[in-house]
Amino acid sequence: MVKNADKLYYPIKQAIMSILPIVDEFVVALDDCDKNDKTRQIIESINDKKIKIIDTVWDLKKYPKGTENAHQTDIAKENCKGDLLFYLQADEVIHEKYLENIKNCCEKHFENKEVEGIILKYKHFWGDYEHYQNSHGWYNHEIRIIRNEKDIHSWESAQSFRRIPNFDYVNYRQQDGTFMLKVVEVDAYVYHYGWVRPPRLMKNKYKALANIHSENTDNKTDEPEYDYGPLDKLQLFSETHPAVMEDWIKDFDWKDKLQYSDKRNKDRKPHKHEKIKYRLATVLKKQDS
């Protein structure tokens, strides 16, 4: 599901292309984007018959606090014909080196109906393509493959899935009457690029997220550009990115606007990973592992 991917700098084309080799179809729930947005043209430029676009209209009044994301995900889900569904968000890309592992895992557990979903691990890139988050508070795995069953629904703000019998298709944040899926883990990562954008466009995405979730967010500021803060405390990434990301990464031209030293703007509220309680939790977690 997607809206204004072009304006908000989502690698939607790369996300789709990354798993096209192992799917029979790829369904996209596409909102009526802004007139100056080219998301539809970008998706259509892939020129693959597997891709099916479902036109939708978002309703943030009926689906507040991020639940429109889950609603739109359910719309895409119900237009899929396959037995197993691979869900990717518009800023999530799979490295080609993991495709065989994923395919083999699906085949291995296909006949075992006790397995309702498959979880993938995550790398959350931050600021640039050389640093990623490994701190407490960032989800390190999530359900991204599910069985195509009516009672399985997207949940909360479309981060995960749960079994919800007799669901009303409205209250996506309900806790009662929901059941966690029985899952297995595959040795594969989702590369999450949602926090890698030019600072000006990251600011626009941040505002869009605040609007969708109908709530206040951290780092309130009147500055025109997003401040990622110092990157030197983050984990360095020394592997390769997915091949489909090659041209996208070539457009990285905001390095001079990033901070690579342990020096924070005192006027900016700290990001979650910079707060003491999360830093301590990260240290303790690493000591336990």
CB atoms within 10 A of CB 266: 5
User: Is residue 65 domain-resident?
Assistant: no
User: Is residue 66 domain-resident?
Assistant: no
Write down the pLDDT at residue 215.
62
Helix (H, G, I), strand (E, B) or coil at 287: helix
Report the distance separating Cα 176 and Cα 173, nearest Å: 9
User: Is residue 56 domain-resident?
Assistant: no
Containing H/E element for 235? Answer: strand 235-236
User: Is residue 69 domain-resident?
Assistant: no
Handedness of CA 168, 153, 273, 263 (dihedral sign): negative
Please give the C-alpha separations between residue 68 and each of 30, 78, 79, 145, 154, in angstroms, as whole numbers.
12, 15, 17, 20, 10
Where does 59-178 show beta strands of DSSP type E? Answer: 84-86, 92-94, 117-126, 131-133, 141-147, 152-155, 160-163
At 250, the amino acid letter reads K
Tokens 């489909």 belong to which residue?
Answer: 244
User: Is residue 191 domain-resident?
Assistant: yes
Q: Are strands 117-126 and 160-163 parallel, antiparallel or unpaired?
A: unpaired
User: Is residue 10 domain-resident?
Assistant: no
Provide the residue range defining the domain that includes 262: 83-289
Please give the C-alpha separations between residue 201 and each of 138, 153, 169, 245, 255, in angstroms, as whole numbers.
22, 31, 32, 18, 14
Nearest alpha carbon to residue 158 among 217, 74, 82: 74
pLDDT tens string, the chain, 289 residues long: the values are: 999 999 999 999 999 999 999 999 999 999 999 999 999 999 999 999 999 999 999 999 999 999 999 999 999 999 999 999 999 999 999 999 999 999 999 999 999 999 999 999 999 999 999 999 988 789 999 999 999 999 999 999 999 999 999 999 999 999 999 999 999 999 999 999 999 999 999 999 888 888 898 765 554 456 789 999 999 989 999 999 999 999 999 999 999 999 998 777 777 888 888 777 756 655 555 545 5
User: Is residue 61 domain-resident?
Assistant: no
Write down the pLDDT at residue 280.
62
- Give how many domains the chain has, as a whole number: 1
Read off φ and ψ for residue 38, nearest 5 degrees.
-115, 30
Please give the C-alpha separations between residue 96 and each of 6, 17, 143, in angstroms, as whole numbers.
24, 10, 19
Write down the pLDDT at residue 263.
73
Helix (H, G, I), strand (E, B) or coil at 10: coil
Write down the pLDDT at residue 48.
98
User: Is residue 54 domain-resident?
Assistant: no
Question: CA triplet 148, 6, 193: central angle to 5 degrees?
Answer: 65
Report the distance separating Cα 34 and Cα 110, nearest Å: 40
DSSP character for 97?
G
Q: Are strands 235-236 and 117-126 parallel, antiparallel or unpaired?
A: unpaired
Nearest alpha carbon to residue 118 among 126, 130, 127, 109: 109
Write down the pLDDT at residue 219.
47
Report the distance separating Cα 245 and Cα 235, nearest Å: 20
- Indicate whether this model's pTM tops 0.95: no
- Alpha helix segments (H runs only) across the chain: 12-19, 39-44, 67-78, 99-109, 199-213, 246-250, 276-288
